[in-house]
Chains A and B, each alone.
Chain A
């Protein structure tokens, strides 16, 4: 694609010119991104190592099956697909901004930068919703104490183990506190009210639970939350800083800094960072949601 005439027998390493035919800033941005790739790589490999070392992990299709305003419908992968397409699309608008920069079209750069920033903000909002959903959503889980408790997904709690049934479930119910039993009844029996269950003892409460309806899992490996929030958080922080960088670039474009300079290379460098964020998401998406 590069059409700049470069003699084929150019001696790149003879001094006097950049052997990479790129400016210092751009080469250093590449090296920074390479080192950042190793940071993300190390996180993801650490996660994968731990997962390989355990007989069981969580079923991502079960954990990530919610969509805003769709209540309790089981929609595996739907929300994260939306996030993925938002990020891919904002990557496209970024590369279009770089393209407009090559044409020295200031208005075009501005418009595409605005779209890219909006894409980044949309992605961050989705991530905020997803985190809130995981951190606040409580689920019935059989903990090591032998009782069923209501757990949310945090760095120390994971309610997403395999579903329990039969004798394991009836045994666990006998050790479970009346408060949790009441919540279990209320979840599937919509005619029951808290007041009508108030005076029942534990055995009466257990008899009211429809064992086929209620979903109780084992508590899964606690590391799931640490890795999920750690890695998606680190990625989200990259998206956030990318949005900040893009806003600065938009401001500098508006002020005409790049026009005065005669080239839009800063947009290219910010673009490299932004595409890298998309690149990392490809692997985060693969490791946490698909596999």
Chain B
């Protein structure tokens, strides 16, 4: 059995030591550019769209969706390059990535639930009508932001 026990030193798979740091800086620039785009979109929301929520409701959703996708791209590059998951073998990659797919259900189901909760309260179909009194006037006055 002793043949089967490998030490960390043997297992340790050196990534290409001759490679320079060019790739790291490239990803750093990429992450910075994505962050700057996100910030520009955020400033756009701050300066313009938030002023007229009714008018630009779809535009706001679109901008927020774009920011979510850009964040996922950032996450991909951090995990794949900085954490070197992209350099690991497929077995290890899949044992991490496949369980994370649970998030697809997790996010969809809970956001759906939150939204339905809001609709129940707004239409007074919930079990606690007194709660709607605090919520509804704000809608009439300013319009739903989300």
Q: Which residues of A contact B (CB under 8 A)?
A: 1-4, 6, 12, 15-25, 27, 30-31, 34, 37-38, 41-42, 45-46, 48-57, 59, 61, 76-77, 81, 84-85, 88-89, 91-92, 94-96, 98-99, 102-103, 144, 161-162, 218, 261-263, 265, 268, 271-272, 275-276, 278-279, 282-283, 285-286, 289-291
Contact = CB atoms under 8 A, between A and B. Distances in A.
B32 to A, nearest CB: 7
A34 B24 contact: no
Contact of A52 (B84, B95, B114): B114
A53 B15 contact: no
B28 A92 contact: yes
Given A275-B79, A290-B64, 11 more contacts: A1-B86, A17-B6, A22-B88, A23-B12, A30-B95, A76-B43, A81-B35, A88-B28, A161-B138, A162-B138, A289-B42
Contacts of A289: 42
A1 B32 CA distance: 23
Give the size range of B's interface with the partner. Answer: 35 or more
Nearest to A17: B6
A278 B144 contact: no
A61 B39 CA distance: 11
B62 interface: no
Interface of B: 3-4, 6, 8-9, 11-17, 19, 21, 23-25, 28, 31-32, 35, 38-39, 41-43, 45-46, 50, 64, 67-68, 71, 74-75, 78-79, 81-89, 91-92, 95-96, 99-100, 102-103, 106-107, 110-111, 113-115, 117-118, 121-122, 134-136, 138-139, 141-142, 144-146
A291 B67 contact: yes
Name the prevailing secondary structure of the A interface residues. Answer: helix
B14 A50 contact: no
B136 to A, nearest CB: 8
Given A1-B15, A76-B43, A16 B3 contact: yes
